């Protein structure tokens, strides 16, 4: 028994990878659908969007790259579906150079699905370097940083942008981000222009941004896959489109596997320690 525990302590980490891999793969084939309880910070975004009227405009800032698609894309898609369903207009920027193509694809995909027309229902401004300067400039006038949109059309030629000057003409800013640009939105957009701001971030980042939610600098915060799953349930996304909900089972099993490994490691540690 002692040798077994000693071997367990020195186990090749590839066995740990294999166990983790199996724990992640199995739920792919058996969808359980564990219930997900909505938290206050996610409900705040849902309620805020539901309170908007058709024709209201929101500013949407997707900033995630292919690496963080699994966590952030579901919340981005759900947000776009909710706003387009209510006929709310969207002005979007993509201030992360590695994610601007992804942002454009996602926006176009959901807009097409919801039957929305570019220029009238949504506009994509695209990317400009030095995001903090761009965010500050957009608080004065979108045209300062973006004289044209992502496709090269002058902003004033787009029906949605006529009469739309800066953040104060929108109802809120919602940023789905996996980069440190979230700090710029808090500091420069909300801090300088006092626009209601909500963030959707990866689970790891959410631990940092709770402090901003508590202080009121964010009116809503979605963290990781769980936040996305809660939001999907509230908006009523079902089936294949509810990617975060489908993946929560996988996350549950992965966490369980890690906890079991940790417990085994501790049992082995104490067993060999006592023997010493």
- Asked if residues 142 and 164 have their Cβ atoms less than 8 Å apart, the reply is yes
Q: What mask, x for binding another protein by CB under 8 A, covers residues 4 to 43?
A: -------x-x--xx-xxx--x---------xxxx-x----
- Supply the minimum distance, in Å, between the C-beta of residue 16 and another protein: 5
The answer to whether residue 105 forms part of the interface with another protein (CB under 8 A) is yes
In whole angstroms, what is the distance from residue 61 CA to residue 190 CA? Answer: 13
What length does the chain have?
Answer: 276
In whole angstroms, what is the distance from residue 274 CA to residue 271 CA? Answer: 5
Angle subtended at Cα 247 by Cα 81 and Cα 227, rounded to the nearest 5 degrees: 55
Q: For residue 119, what are its two tokens?
A: 């220029």
Q: How many other C-beta atoms are found inside a 10 Å radius of the C-beta of residue 215?
A: 9
- Supply the minimum distance, in Å, between the C-beta of residue 88 and another protein: 19
Q: 3-class DSSP state for residue 97?
A: coil
- Judged by CB, which is closer to another protein: 34, or 85? 34
- Supply the minimum distance, in Å, between the C-beta of residue 93 and another protein: 17
Segment lying near another protein (by CB under 8 A), choices 54-62, 82-90, 114-122, 198-206: 198-206
Residues 162 to 181: which contact another protein by CB under 8 A?
165, 179-180
Give the residue, chosen from 50, 85, 147, 266, that forms a contact with another protein under the rule CB under 8 A: 266
The answer to whether residue 133 forms part of the interface with another protein (CB under 8 A) is yes
Alpha-carbon distances of 105 from 66, 99, 100, 158, rounded to whole Å: 12, 10, 9, 20
- Supply the minimum distance, in Å, between the C-beta of residue 156 and another protein: 15
Segment lying near another protein (by CB under 8 A), choices 45-53, 96-104, 115-123, 234-242: 96-104
Alpha-carbon distances of 62 from 19, 83, 98, 118, 274, rounded to whole Å: 34, 15, 11, 17, 53
Q: What mask, x for binding another protein by CB under 8 A, covers residues 201 to 240?
A: -xxxxxxx-xx--x-----------x--------------
The answer to whether residue 241 forms part of the interface with another protein (CB under 8 A) is no
The answer to whether residue 44 forms part of the interface with another protein (CB under 8 A) is no
In whole angstroms, what is the distance from residue 196 CA to residue 189 CA? Answer: 9
- Judged by CB, which is closer to another protein: 117, or 194? 194
Alpha-carbon distances of 69 from 43, 206, 276, rounded to whole Å: 22, 16, 48
The answer to whether residue 190 forms part of the interface with another protein (CB under 8 A) is no
- Supply the minimum distance, in Å, between the C-beta of residue 215 and another protein: 10
Q: How many other C-beta atoms are found inside a 10 Å radius of the C-beta of residue 67?
A: 12
Q: Among residues 199, 89, 128, 106, which one has the least CA distance to residue 138?
A: 128
Q: Which residues bind another protein (CB under 8 A)?
A: 11, 13, 16-17, 19-21, 24, 34-37, 39, 65-70, 98, 101-102, 105, 129-130, 133, 165, 179-180, 202-208, 210-211, 214, 226, 248-249, 251-259, 261-262, 264-266, 269-270
């Amino acid at each position: 028994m002692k040798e077994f525990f000693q071997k367990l302590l020195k186990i090749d980490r590839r066995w740990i990878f294999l166990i983790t891999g199996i724990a992640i793969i199995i739920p792919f084939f058996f969808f359980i659908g564990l219930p997900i309880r909505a938290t206050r910070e996610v409900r705040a975004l849902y309620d805020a969007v539901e309170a908007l009227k058709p024709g209201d405009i929101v500013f949407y800032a997707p900033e995630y790259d292919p690496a963080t698609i699994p966590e952030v894309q579901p919340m981005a898609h759900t947000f776009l579906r909710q706003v387009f369903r209510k006929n709310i207009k969207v002005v979007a920027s993509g201030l992360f150079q590695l994610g601007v193509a992804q942002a454009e694809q996602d926006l176009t995909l959901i807009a097409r699905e919801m039957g929305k027309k570019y220029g009238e229902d949504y506009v994509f401004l695209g990317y400009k370097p030095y995001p903090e300067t761009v965010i500050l400039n957009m608080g004065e006038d979108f045209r300062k940083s973006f004289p044209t949109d992502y496709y090269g059309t002058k902003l004033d030629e787009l029906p949605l942008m006529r009469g739309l000057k800066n953040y104060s003409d929108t109802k809120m800013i919602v940023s789905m981000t996996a980069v440190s640009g979230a700090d710029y939105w808090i500091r420069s957009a909300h801090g300088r222009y006092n626009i209601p701001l909500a963030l959707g971030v990866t689970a790891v980042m959410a631990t940092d941004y709770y402090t901003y939610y508590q202080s009121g600098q964010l009116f809503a915060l979605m963290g990781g896959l769980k936040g996305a799953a809660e939001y999907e349930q509230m908006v009523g996304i079902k089936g294949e489109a509810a990617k975060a909900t489908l993946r929560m089972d996988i996350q549950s099993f992965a966490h369980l596997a890690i906890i079991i490994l940790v417990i085994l490691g501790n049992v082995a540690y104490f067993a060999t320690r006592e023997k010493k």
